[in-house]
Amino acid sequence: MRILLVEDDPTTSRSIELMLTHANLNVFCTDLGEDGIDLAKLYDYDLILLDLNLPDMSGHEVLRQLRLARVETPILILSGADDTDSKLKGFGFGADDYMTKPFHREELPARIHAIIRRSKGHSQSVIRTGRICVNLDAKSVEVDGKTVHLTGKEYQMLELLSLRKGTTLTKEMFLNHLYGGMDEPELKIIDVFIC
């Protein structure tokens, strides 16, 4: 899953990036609101993590511009401000969730998975397709109740197929999901994975 992190504090940004990378999420970081808007318009992210205190513009303005541009990617606000007005303003501009800093390191990945799952139309963390059962939280797969051991890339491919079942997926979508725009191999690698 691809996450865009818009956070200006380098220490906080690095900490969140490490935390989410450890949870097997692909994280892309920027410290400017304008860059966050441009990246969100250009690339397909599963979720945007947005700080409210940015050097070039407020996070609320970033959120407002994204929604005006019809960027429908779920947005989770991360902020040190825990006042009700800030939260209400965020939700009013189209935020999907709001977390105050500091937070427990296990809570953020759990919220991210829940928001992404719901945004794709799945209320449960377990997606069943025929005899295959994919548990998005445990990152495990069962066929007829028996655990199937997959490599990381195999799991990511099955995860994408499960989350977007019923839709046509391009090789580019697989590459984006698997490599997140970093060190992407040739498109033919998808043929190797599928066959």
pTM over 0.75: no
CATH number of 2-119: 3.40.50.2300
Domains of the chain: which residue ranges? 2-119, 126-194
pLDDT in tens, the chain (195 residues): 789 999 999 999 999 999 998 888 889 999 999 999 999 998 889 999 999 999 999 999 999 999 999 999 999 999 988 899 989 999 999 999 999 988 888 899 989 988 988 887 766 778 888 899 988 877 889 999 899 999 888 888 888 888 888 888 888 888 777 776 666 677 777 777 776
**SS3 annotation, the chain:** CEEEEECCCHHHHHHHHHHHHHCCCEEEEECCHHHHHHHHHHCCCCEEEEECECCCCEHHHHHHHHHHCCCCCCEEEEECCCCHHHHHHHHHCCCCEEEECCCCCCHHHHHHHHHHHHHCCCCCCEEEECCEEEECCCCEEEECCEEECCCHHHHHHHHHHHHCCCCCCCHHHHHHHHHCCCCCCCCHHHHHHHC
Q: Which residue has the tokens 């099955």?
A: 158
Q: How far is CA 55 from CA 6, 7, 25, 41, 85, in A?
A: 11, 10, 26, 20, 21
The CATH architecture annotation of domain 126-194 reads Orthogonal Bundle (1.10)
